[in-house]
Structure 1
């Protein structure tokens, strides 16, 4: 049995190495500052068209939070050449899918079409960028949509506010302290002129990346991009504010209450470097070691062996400026929350003290390679990864091809040193997350 397992692992390793091929792409800048990335893949008659704007909740006025997420919805309202509500109907009636999402750092819109509808996808995104419909009616409609989303996903969802509670404490002095969905009171108070000004400042070609991936002809696609985007005017340069926050130098213990839960939870959160940092990748590997799957250290110890937790996790919530390394546990059989925290802390100390084994490191590298291949197997996933590289890694689109090499270069000694550097009790927020009666 053991020999069979080793053979299976060897075959899997060969498959992953063969699949993790270099991603070829073409990139250039248009006169209006729009950065364009093209990737040709003719294995299926599908094309993904996406635009990433370098604007998120981090760029909002503290008295007008929620604007970036609001525009995720508002820019589906239509345009000068498209009736209200026709955007999604146009996509679906032509065999496509579309969506958008917003983070603290960027907003991402996309369509996935049969490749013969590439021109339609480009027209839709150019309409969104050039002259979207931003009026009182659309603002009112989307305001109600956002409120309902907040009620559903946050206010009435079990544990829905834990990131809000943690980030508010962990990122004092930085816009990360509020969540992308923002404040409904701020959105209610905003005037139409404020929404228009926010659009004109951030949703400009020189603050965006257009990425097209799939079954395309590169020369023909360049011509279509020129046709639909050259008339979009360049905006004023977008200058990002640099925030310096005070380090967390002593353990902060607090309590939050949630009326939607019956089982309490305990969280520990550490402020860590942002996604550009090599240490951020190491922290990602540490989280996989601790809780990445049923055979991970925390799951094996607390869920399987001691049966003190029904769920335990560690993850690196990585953002552009900083990250939040978060551990959490939900008790089984009324186990005290402090006992859960002690068990998690013991595994962190173990990481800080002892080198992980060679076999554990090899397993982690295989897990990351598998994840890498999976992310890039779909055209929209690959389009987003290419845009992320340009947007967040010093305009280095080729980061998509360097990611695996960076992971493979991580050593057991680095894992121990990074755990020692960032995961200390005097650098964290401990949050007791309790049911509210």
Structure 2
């Protein structure tokens, strides 16, 4: 009886996940090329106004890295109608919160307000785009802010530089080889005119998507959007022609050093397909299979059972042009990095040569069902998913159908993709080491 009840409960849960999470949305374009997506949800008196720009850390000129991340900060400095330093005060005094973040592929800004402040949110984002004040005072101020962020998150944080070390060794010609935060000497050397030219090139309505989600009346929202964003001039089309990487056919061996660690790490990193490809979704599942929690393969084997590692993990850093799949571990006691790598390779080989169990397969599918539900459980999550799916993945309705991709992945595909991309001759082997006095 208990088994029957469990099966019934599972079926009911699957039905809820399959049908109750449908996200309705409406799209349209302004004459200046700004793409707009509306999602109406009147269940709570909250609204988010968000803009995602098609500019990220990969968009730089030689010796001028880090501009996109720099602008993430700079565009809070103030506008023609918002005094310098007042942006956050305006938001908080009207019951709102706001933030921004930058990846190698895009930059995202948003405000969350009580729904009666929708117009304020739209006005502020239109001000950011139409009337920003980009002057030397703001540039100098934010230069110091970015330097402090780099010190805290990268220079003085244990293992803070390992992703940068992977990028600079795994990529030879594509701009993913540079760190998202950029090099501070590049920002120091840049002129005010260079920053202004960067804004003019990338921060234009036809290089962005506006998402408004939450407790809205669509007709009223459309009118406000046209009033505030319609007058902004269209910019020149952004043309990209990034160089392609040649396939890795021999193991790349490298070392990197970190002042802030005492325990080394071994990392094996693979250059894999961009996140629009089906194989990238499969690699997502492989990373979860290997290290999705304390019952996962790598953690259970190396940390829990064999007591060989303090930490063991697999990550899939999904990006537009190329993704990065990496396995890494920190040794316990006298265990060598080579030993850890061999033990992790053993689990990769198992994936390549036989199917995972049906039980593990169902567990994986359940994990991704749960992630899907959680990602669309708030207007904040819905807004970012809508923007990402439009701007980077060319299909807004992925917000409703992406879970079907994961559901359709087979055990055979997991085996075949592991075999295709995760071979030792296709990777970077990086020893991430404590820095010695003479290094």
Deviations 1:56-87 (A, max 9, x none): 11111131001000000000001001100111
Unaligned ranges ≥5, structure 2 = none
In 2: Cα distance, 1:7 partner to 1:166 partner = 48
In 2: Cα distance, 1:367 partner to 1:6 partner = 22
1:146-295 matched pairs, under 5 angstroms: 146-295=146-295
Q: Which residue in 2 is equivalent to 1:26?
A: 26
How many pairs were matched up? 434
In 2: Cα distance, 1:7 partner to 1:431 partner = 50
- Would you say the 8 A contact 2:169–2:254 is kept in 1? no
Would you say 1:378 and 2:349 are equivalent positions?
A: no
- Would you say the 8 A contact 1:69–1:181 is kept in 2? yes
Deviations 1:230-266 (A, max 9, x none): 1110001111223211111100111111110011111
Q: Which residue in 2 is equivalent to 1:400?
A: 399
In 1: Cα distance, 2:183 partner to 2:174 partner = 16
In 1: Cα distance, 2:53 partner to 2:11 partner = 37
- Would you say the 8 A contact 2:175–2:242 is kept in 1? no
Q: TM-score, normalised by structure 1?
A: 0.97
From 15, 27, 48, the equivalent of 2:13 is: 15
In 2: Cα distance, 1:5 partner to 1:160 partner = 47
1:6, distance to aligned residue in structure 2 (A): 8.8
Q: What do you get for the CA RMSD once the two structures are aligned?
A: 1.4
1:362, distance to aligned residue in structure 2 (A): 1.1
Q: Quick one: structure 1 residues 301 and 41, their matched pair in 2 at CA, closer, same or farther if it must change by over 3 Å?
A: same
1:332, distance to aligned residue in structure 2 (A): 1.5
In 2: Cα distance, 1:9 partner to 1:341 partner = 40
Q: TM-score, normalised by structure 2?
A: 0.97
Q: Quick one: structure 1 residues 16 and 223, their matched pair in 2 at CA, closer, same or farther if it must change by over 3 Å?
A: farther
Find the residue that maps to 2:242 and give its secondary structure: coil
In 1: Cα distance, 2:228 partner to 2:256 partner = 50
In 2: Cα distance, 1:224 partner to 1:16 partner = 39
- Would you say the 8 A contact 1:289–1:297 is kept in 2? yes
1:347-366 matched pairs, under 5 angstroms: 347-366=347-366
1:22, distance to aligned residue in structure 2 (A): 1.4
Q: Quick one: structure 1 residues 75 and 416, their matched pair in 2 at CA, closer, same or farther if it must change by over 3 Å?
A: same
1:75-114 matched pairs, under 5 angstroms: 75-114=75-114
Deviations 1:89-141 (A, max 9, x none): 10011111100000111000001111111110000000000010100000000
1:166, distance to aligned residue in structure 2 (A): 0.7
Deviations 1:323-351 (A, max 9, x none): 01011001122311111111110000000
